[in-house]
Amino acid sequence: MHISAKELQAAAKRIKIAKDDADREIQEIEDKASRLEELHRLFSRLSRSWQDHDPGKYGIHVFFVRDYVLTPQPHGLPHAQDIEKFWVAELANDPEEIKLGRKRRYVYAGESERVAVPLGELSEVKREKCPDCANEGLVIGTYYQTYDSSEGDDWEKCLHVLCLNCLTATTIARQVMDGRF
């Protein structure tokens, strides 16, 4: 069997195209896995964040949003103000305990051992259109410390549309401050 130089060059081009296609597919799968891992983390924290003694300090603080006000910014995403956060007892990791409130880490004279946790129903969660697929999604909030030092801290507060159709949590508001909100 005789193989010409042109046939080898054509095969090399086909191999390069197939390799590039495979690299793109791998990248798409890795991106999807990363997005799903982040969603899994948000869902997990959504059931447990009500117990946070120092919200956002040692991990992402996640909550449902009943209402909010957006303040447009000249650059980037709008800031969210007047956020009404709450949790749904039936979705909590301990549905009975959440109704009693979060246990205080330190109890001082005259204080209760527990702090009330704002509760609500799933039907009260603010709904917004998913920016990716236009289906209705649930609005959740996140709050966490992004940088910690003796000179100062950076904190980030975001609102996301949690879409169960396209399995995304798209950020619709973001604000960073050099201190707690």
pLDDT one-digit tens code per residue, 12-28 = 999 999 999 999 999 99
DSSP β-bridge partners for residue 69: 81
Q: For residues 168 and 154, is the Cβ–Cβ distance under 8 A?
A: no
**What is the 8-class DSSP label of residue 121?**
-
3 state SS of 81: strand
Residues 172, 137: Cα–Cα separation, whole Å: 12
Tens digit of each residue's pLDDT (9 = 90 or more) over 116-147? 999 999 999 999 999 999 999 999 999 999 99
Residues 35, 80: Cα–Cα separation, whole Å: 23
Segments in the chain below pLDDT 50 = none
pTM for the model? 0.85
Sketch the domain layout of the chain as residue ranges. 5-177
Pairing of strands 79-88, 119-120: parallel
Pairing of strands 114-115, 119-120: unpaired
DSSP β-bridge partners for residue 159: 141, 173
